[in-house]
């Protein structure tokens, strides 16, 4: 297979294996397949920080455990980068995700589309394989609409896109409006603060609900 890691996201979107005659499901990782907030919380906990979730944010929910001082952006960026190198063991898979993807993959192509630092590629691919989600993975940066449009152009079947972040869902709605959009936020503490647009992007609380929605929207 083509070595996807040598390619830009746009090139990877053209090289990744997609069956032109079947539906296509494009899936995010963090807060969709992996409990990112919980994992990051565990990781920063070993560095003297704790998480108090009271807004839809990452670094702004992290405080020094002893002083109570908020995490500054520079330390946050460092911890974030280290997390992608060393923190794979802290990430728990979201319940039912692997089973739902396995069932769906019998009927459609599945592609993982994740925004992660490039240095996290190996750990991330290893994590997906270890947890039974060994699908082709594209690492993207920035809004996902353009690369989703490139992927969607490669099939005559229906296309679906799952993400936790509203800006990505809105970006796909703009770049590839024919793609069905689904939102999921695995962390129940974060969920109440999440920006949503349920009239435009379907919402699922868990993978049992998500699997039903995808079947309804993607299978003719």
Q: Where does this chain bind Mg ion (CB under 5 A)?
A: 28, 30-31, 164
Q: What are the structure tokens assigned to 166, written together?
A: 């509203």
Closer to Mg ion by Cβ: residue 109 or 140: 140
Instruction: State the nearest-atom distance from the C-beta of 201 to Mg ion, in Å.
Output: 14
- Cα-based angle 124, 79, 62 (whole degrees, multiple of 5): 115
Instruction: State the nearest-atom distance from the C-beta of 48 to Mg ion, in Å.
Output: 26
Helix, strand, coil % (nearest 5) of the chain?
A: 45, 15, 40
Closer to Mg ion by Cβ: residue 16 or 32: 32
Handedness of CA 11, 153, 32, 98 (dihedral sign): negative
Closer to Mg ion by Cβ: residue 109 or 183: 183
Non-local CB neighbours of 11 within 8 Å, separated by 6+ positions:
none
Closer to Mg ion by Cβ: residue 28 or 90: 28
Region for 68 from its dihedrals, namely left if φ exceeds 0, alpha if ψ lies in -120 to 50, beta otherwise: left
Instruction: State the nearest-atom distance from the C-beta of 21 to Mg ion, in Å.
Output: 29
Give residue number: closest CB to Mg ion.
Answer: 30
Instruction: State the nearest-atom distance from the C-beta of 114 to Mg ion, in Å.
Output: 7
């Amino acid at each position: 297979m083509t070595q996807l890691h040598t390619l830009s996201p746009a090139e990877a979107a053209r090289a990744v294996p997609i069956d032109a005659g079947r539906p296509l499901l494009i899936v995010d990782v963090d807060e969709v397949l992996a409990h990112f907030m919980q994992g990051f919380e565990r990781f920063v906990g070993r560095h003297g920080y704790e998480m108090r979730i009271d807004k839809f944010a990452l670094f702004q929910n992290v405080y020094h455990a002893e002083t109570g001082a908020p995490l500054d952006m520079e330390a946050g960026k460092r911890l974030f980068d280290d997390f992608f190198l060393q923190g794979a063991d802290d990430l728990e898979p979201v319940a039912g995700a692997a089973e739902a993807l396995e069932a769906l993959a019998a009927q459609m192509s599945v592609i993982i589309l994740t925004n992660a630092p490039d240095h996290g590629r190996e750990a991330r691919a290893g994590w997906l394989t270890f947890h039974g989600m060994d699908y082709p993975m594209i690492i993207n940066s920035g809004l996902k609409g353009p690369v989703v449009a490139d992927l969607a152009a490669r099939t005559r079947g229906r296309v679906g896109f799952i993400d936790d972040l509203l800006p990505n869902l809105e970006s796909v709605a703009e770049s590839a409006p024919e793609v069905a959009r689904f939102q999921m936020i695995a962390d129940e503490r974060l969920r109440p603060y999440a920006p949503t647009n349920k009239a435009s992007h379907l919402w699922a609380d868990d993978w049992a609900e998500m699997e039903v929605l995808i079947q309804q929207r993607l299978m003719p």
